[in-house]
Amino acid sequence: MLKYVDYDIVFQEIPDEVSLAINISQCPNRCSGCHSMHLMENIGEDLSTDILYRIIDKYKDSITCVCFMGGDKSQPEIEKLANAVKTNYNLKVGWYSGKEVLPKQLYLFDYVKLGRYIEALGGLDSLNTNQRMYKISANETDDITYRFKKQL
Ligand code: SF4
C-alpha cells in the first residue's frame, strides 16, 4: 500500500485551485538533485481510502482539489485513490508524477504533472524544464505549464 508522510494546503502547485497536497513516500524515481529526498524512503503511514477520507473531511470545505504528490510506485493505487475522491467528493484531483506518459484512466484526473526532476533543466517554473502540467477535461489534455512561468 502507498504511504503518506504529511499533507498541507497549498496554492501554487495547481493553478487556480486550493489544493490539499498529500506527500507520498517510497518514490522510485531517484532523480539527481531531488528536492525531497526523504520521499524516497519507506516512511509514513498507510494511505488507505479510509485514511484519505479522514484527511479530506477535515478540509473539504476550504479546498477545491486533492493533489497526490508522488505515488509512482503504484499507479493502480493512485487511480484507486483518485476514483475514491471522484466518487465521494465534489473536488478536483491532481497528480504530481515523475512518469513520462499520461495515465490511461485520464478521466480520474483533472490535472497531471509529468516528468522526472532534472536539476539542469529545473522544475515547472523554469523556462527549460522537461516537466509538463496538463489540465484535463472531457479526456482532452491542455498543457498549462506556461502558467507556472507567469507566476515568477
Ligand atoms: S520524483 Fe520528486 S521525490 Fe521522486 S526522486 Fe524525483 S524529485 Fe525526488
CA–centroid distance, residue 121 to ligand 1 (Å): 14
Q: What is the pTM of this model?
A: 0.96
What pLDDT score does 152 carry? Answer: 47
Q: What is the CATH number of the domain that holds 8?
A: 3.20.20.70
- CA of 111 from ligand 1 middle (Å) equals 18
31: helix, strand or coil: coil
CB-CB contact of 10 with 58 (8 Å): no
- Residue-number span of the structural domain to which 40 is assigned: 3-150
Ligand 1: does its nearest atom lie under 6 Å from the Cβ of 31? Answer: yes
Q: Is the CB of 39 under 6 A from ligand 1?
A: yes
Residue 14: is its pLDDT beyond 90? Answer: yes
Looking at residue 149, what is its pLDDT? 86
Residue-wise burial string across 105-124, b where 16 or more C-beta atoms lie within 10 A, e elsewhere: ebebbbbbbbbbbbeeeeeb
Ligand 1 lined by 117 (C-beta under 6 Å): yes
Helix (H, G, I), strand (E, B) or coil at 116: coil
Q: Average per-residue pLDDT in the chain?
A: 96
| Closest residue CA from atom 6 of ligand 1 | 31
Question: From the CB of 32, is ligand 1 less than 6 Å away?
Answer: no
Handedness of CA 127, 131, 135, 141 (dihedral sign): positive
CA nearest ligand 1 atom 7, residue: 34
Indicate the pLDDT class of residue 150, thresholds 50, 70 and 90.
Answer: low
Rounded Cα gap, residues 88 and 122, in angstroms: 36
How many separate domains does the chain show?
A: 1
87 C-beta neighbours (distance < 10 Å), count: 9
> What is the distance in A from the centroid of ligand 1 to the CA of 55?
23
Q: What is the pLDDT of residue 139?
A: 82
Average pLDDT over residues 30-56: 96
